Amino acid sequence: MRDFTDKHIVIIIEDMPAPLDRRVWQEAIALKEKGSSVSIICPKMKGYNKSYEVIDGIKIYRHPIPFEAERAVGFLLEYSTALLFEFALLVKIYLKQKINVIQGCTPPDLMFLPVLPFKLFGVKYVFDHHDLNPELYLSKFNKKGFFYQLLKLFEKMNFRTADFSIAMNSSYKNIAIERGKMNPENVSIVRSGPDLERLKICKENMKYKNDKKFLVGYLGVISKQDGVDLLMKIIRLVLDRRDDVQFAIIGGGLELENIKDIAAKLKIKNDVTFYGMVKDNNLLSEIISTCDICVNPDEYNEFNDTCTSVKIMEYMALKKAVVQFDLKEGRYSAQKAALYAENGSLHDFADKICYLLDQKMLREEMAEFGYQRVVKELSWQNEKMKYLNFYSKVFSNRN
């Protein structure tokens, strides 16, 4: 494997701070363990407000993010502001230590802009393709027009600028090759597998069930496209049928307070415990280990259908059966570890939850299948070698 020890990699993320972004943090740790210098540029967020800190030997530079856009014009303003901060921080970092590779993570597809000047100095650009931004736009605004076409142009330019690309799954790799016109040899699939050293199955703690028989869990970021508003309606449907279920919502985000308001309006707030962002891995593992099943409420759209949901594999790593809508990549990840609700049907989703709660043997069989799939195929311990092999190729300059 190519020598990593004299290399400096800068990873840029715009939508989430480090080390909260688990995929990026796992990548950074993997590079650091091989001897590389690693810096991360990311936004500030509640709980992650330091402009600079070093964690586990990784240098983290954070910049302000004024707001989460809701309109197309707002996205351009949000991203433009972030790009200016990112470019300034790249200059600051480069003046301190030469950069060998910049890894830009979407969204947005504008990461190539602050990178371009550095390519003149021989810096390689790796496009880490987290999100399909044209499809994400459609999921939020449900229309194709000027801004949709603009996003497709940005995506094309991002691919054209990249020397190499990391795809989240086979759907993303096909898009990199077909839509981005990238050389297939320069595109590698590295999935966002759960870290089995971080997530460990614990003895269940009944206090999380709030004197109920069952606990249903959700783990993830709470933003507009994550379907947590739909989950609140699904919970209402479940509670209309039975009163023996408590729900645990683990995660933070700009929509958290809005989701709490929805829960209050639906009169379910006593049946739903909001834990917010849980940084303690032991606490997180304990809550999910106590759950009887877990849910992924991502609704069907072109974006979600091709997106690999990390939460599904984290549920599986903690031996939990899953209920989700029938999405292409979600089905690939979970396979027999999930029940699949009819897309668009909140009633069917609620039916699947109730059915699975009443089928203990089936839950256990599904959970065991999911756990073995993660251990043997999907864990970060498996994906890490793919990531490091990818970087060996980047360092060897085989373009």
Q: List helix spans (H) across the chain.
A: 22-33, 72-96, 112-119, 133-141, 146-161, 170-178, 228-239, 256-265, 281-290, 302-305, 310-317, 328-334, 346-357, 360-373, 380-395
- For residue 46, the model assigns a pLDDT of 80
Q: Which two tokens stand for residue 178?
A: 């077909």
1 within a domain of the structure (yes/no) = no
Q: Is the pLDDT of residue 53 over 80?
A: yes
* Residues 29 and 146 occupy one common structural domain: yes
Q: What are phi and psi of 65, to 5 degrees?
A: -130, 115
* Residues 386 and 371 occupy one common structural domain: no
- For residue 106, the model assigns a pLDDT of 87
* Residues 160 and 139 occupy one common structural domain: yes
Please indicate whether residue 291 or residue 135 has the higher confidence score (pLDDT).
Answer: 291
131 within a domain of the structure (yes/no) = yes
Structural domain boundaries, residue 242 = 206-378
Nearest to 369 by CA among 299, 304, 285, 313: 313
* Residues 227 and 333 occupy one common structural domain: yes
pLDDT one-digit tens code per residue, 178-232: 999 999 999 999 999 999 998 999 999 999 999 999 999 999 989 877 899 999 9
- For residue 79, the model assigns a pLDDT of 76
* Residues 216 and 174 occupy one common structural domain: no
3-class SS of residue 168: coil
- For residue 326, the model assigns a pLDDT of 98
139 within a domain of the structure (yes/no) = yes
Average pLDDT over residues 15-20: 89
Q: Is the pLDDT of residue 398 over 70?
A: no
* Residues 171 and 278 occupy one common structural domain: no
Quickly list DSSP for 13-32.
-SSS-TTTSHHHHHHHHHHH
Torsion region of 4: left, alpha or beta (phi above 0 gives left; psi -120 to 50 gives alpha): alpha
Average pLDDT over residues 370-389: 96
200 within a domain of the structure (yes/no) = no
- Beta carbons within 8 Å of 233's beta carbon, 6+ residues apart: 266, 346
* Residues 372 and 280 occupy one common structural domain: yes
pLDDT one-digit tens code per residue, 307-333: 999 999 999 999 999 999 999 999 999
Average pLDDT over residues 237-248: 98
Q: What is the pTM of this model?
A: 0.86
- For residue 144, the model assigns a pLDDT of 86
Contact of 187 with 178, CB cutoff 8 Å: no
- Beta carbons within 8 Å of 253's beta carbon, 6+ residues apart: 221, 222, 223, 226
* Residues 141 and 260 occupy one common structural domain: no
Average pLDDT over residues 234-260: 95
* Residues 221 and 130 occupy one common structural domain: no
Contact of 193 with 378, CB cutoff 8 Å: yes
- How many other C-beta atoms are found inside a 10 Å radius of the C-beta of residue 153? 12
What's the domain count of the chain?
Answer: 2
The answer to whether the bond into 114 is cis (omega within 30° of 0) is: no
- For residue 67, the model assigns a pLDDT of 60
Confidence of residue 1 (pLDDT cuts 50, 70, 90): low
Average pLDDT over residues 381-391: 96
* Residues 162 and 213 occupy one common structural domain: no
**The domain spanning residue 305 has which CATH number?**
3.40.50.2000
- For residue 29, the model assigns a pLDDT of 97
* Residues 260 and 169 occupy one common structural domain: no
Please indicate whether residue 273 or residue 68 has the higher confidence score (pLDDT).
Answer: 273
* Residues 85 and 167 occupy one common structural domain: yes
What is the distance between the alpha carbons of residues 183 and 177, in angstroms, rounded to a whole number?
7
